Structure 1
Amino acid sequence: MKENQYIVLKKKVDFATKNLKNCCKTGCSFCCYQLIEVFDFEEQTIKDAINKLDDNNKAIIKKNLESWFTFFNENTPNEKVLDEHDTISNMINLGLSKKHPCPLLINNLCSIYNNRPLACRVHVVESNPELCEKDPYRASSKESHSIRNKIFSEIKQKKGKYYMTFLPYIATEIIKIESQIKPIKKLYIK
């Protein structure tokens, strides 16, 4: 996807979600305890946003990444390239008993909020934010889910073969860590 197409897509998502009923407030970060998938065409924008952070925030993110990968490595199989079952399904099941924040979360705020992934932009919860604390994988509103489906349909119609990967993996391309980074299969959009 060309950069201008991606910018238009982000604007569409932001416009559509702006008009949804939303119980989320600044500092509410319960949904930031999910495994976030990122499209390949979002990667450079995210990397650029991380690069622009000050050294203090990068140091916090590095510590967060080390912690996240320790958690991830303890809760995923060894000696194989991880697939969707090993990662997404496993993390959703863990999310109800063990939660771990997104490495880019600092003081309950997204450190790259203006450049956050589409998955984060489209996740809107209408009511009962206290339920989010108990279930970080709580479904977003029906309208939000409909917007997400429209995004996927639009992406599928674009020429090209797109894939998704996980946000912490992208962050480690900018902020190097010592923890093991297990190989994962790219999730191709069909």
Structure 2
Amino acid sequence: MNSNLTSILKNVKSVHNDLDKVIGSIDNMCRKGCAHCCYQPIEIVACEELPIAEYINNRIGSDLYKKVRKQIMDWSIHFNEHFAGFESLKTVDDVSHANRAYREKVNEDRLACPFLVNNLCSIYEVRPLSCRSHIELESATLCEKDGLKESTNNIKKIRNYHFEKLIKNPNSTLRYLPVAISRTFGFNKIFKPHPMIKLN
């Protein structure tokens, strides 16, 4: 890994660690094995691909690798069938609407994040900012009733503060986690063309 990528990786880990300390200081109802919030498309900043790919290449066993790879393939089939066609996405509002509609479809169909295995996150140690900052303060039952339940405004402010730190890395984009990491599993263009959100 060249020095530039090493620097970016170090920055991502630093931002994640800082976020964990803040979130960890807040009483919440999230517990190991509770995965109600994992039935929605997860978005990651481009720089977050580095620690996830590194973890997959060095820490995941062959059986788990095969399981997640199969689930990414299944996720791509659902995405290709239900995400709006590229030709219909002419404006930023079109893309925003398509993302919102697909988020609701994933939740409706109870399509789990492909990294969820036996109700546990297989990349928990390197999970993206969007997952690290998503906590429930009142009751896990609320998440069970509404898989798309949003965090409180205070938690959103914490998330956005750390998000701004991440996107200071050059060429920052926002993509769905399975799309961004698919090449790490040996896939090439299994997702149909769709816009990549540029952040800087």
**Length-normalised TM-score, structure 2:** 0.84
Amino acid at match of 1:2: I
Tell me, yes or no, if structure 1 residue 172 matches structure 2 residue 199.
no
Name the amino acid aligned to 2:15. Answer: L
Query: How much has 1:132 moved relative to structure 2?
Result: 1.2
Alpha carbons of structure 1 residues 133 and 161: separation in structure 2 relative to 1, 3 Å: same
Return the letter of the residue paired with 2:9: E
Q: Is contact 1:80–1:183 with CA below 8 Å preserved after alignment?
A: no
Cα 1:87–1:44 shift into 2, 3 Å:
farther
Gap runs ≥5 in structure 2: 1-6
Equivalent residues in 2 for 1:25-44, closer than 5 Å: 25-44=31-50
Tell me what 1:100 maps to: 111
Q: Is 1:121 matched with 2:132?
A: yes
Task: Give the counterpart of 1:160 among 167, 170, 182.
Answer: 170
Q: Secondary structure at the match of 2:151?
A: coil
Which amino acid in 2 is paired with 1:123? H
Judged with a 3 Å threshold, the aligned counterparts in structure 2 of structure 1 residues 38 and 81 are, in CA distance, closer, same or farther, namely farther
Q: Is the 8 A contact 2:86 2:193 kept in 1?
A: no
Tell me which residue corresponds to 1:55: 62
Could you say if the C-alpha distance between residues 155 and 111 of structure 1 is closer, same or farther in structure 2, counting changes exceeding 3 Å? closer
Deviates more, 1:72-81 or 1:146-155: 72-81
Render the CA deviation track for 1:45-67: whole Å, top value 9, x for unaligned: 11111223111001111221122
Distance 2:107 2:32 in 1: 23
> Contact (CA 8 Å) 1:81, 1:182: kept in 2 or not?
no
Q: Displacement, 1:177?
A: 4.8
Q: Do residues 188 (structure 1) and 195 (structure 2) align?
A: no
Contact 2:47 2:166 in 1 (8 A): no
Fraction of identical pairs, as percent: 29
Aligned amino acid, residue 113 of structure 1: Y
**Preserved contact between residue 45 and residue 115 of structure 1 (Cα < 8 Å):** yes
Letter in 1 for 2:11: Q
Query: What is the root-mean-square deviation in Å for CA atoms of aligned residues?
Result: 2.4
Change (3 A) 1:127 1:183: same
Tell me if structure 2 keeps the 8 A contact 1:96–1:134. Answer: no
- Distance in 1, matches of 2:71 and 2:109, equals 16
The aligned amino acid for 2:65 is: K
> What's the secondary structure of 1:174's corresponding residue?
helix
Provide the rounded CA distance (Å) in 2 between the counterparts of 1:152 and 1:131: 25
Q: Secondary structure at the match of 1:38?
A: strand
Deviations 1:143-178 (A, max 9, x none): 32111121233345x363411111101231111359
Structure 1: runs of 5 or more not aligned: none
Is the alpha carbon distance of 1:91 and 1:133 closer, same or farther for their aligned partners in structure 2, counting shifts above 3 Å? farther
Q: Which has the higher helix share?
A: 2
| Aligned partner letter, 2:50 | Q
**Partner AA of 1:173 in structure 2:** R
Cα displacement string for residues 2-42 of structure 1 (whole angstroms, at most 9, x for unaligned residues)? 33222221111000100112101100011111111111111
Between the two proteins, the alignment pairs up a number of residues equal to 189
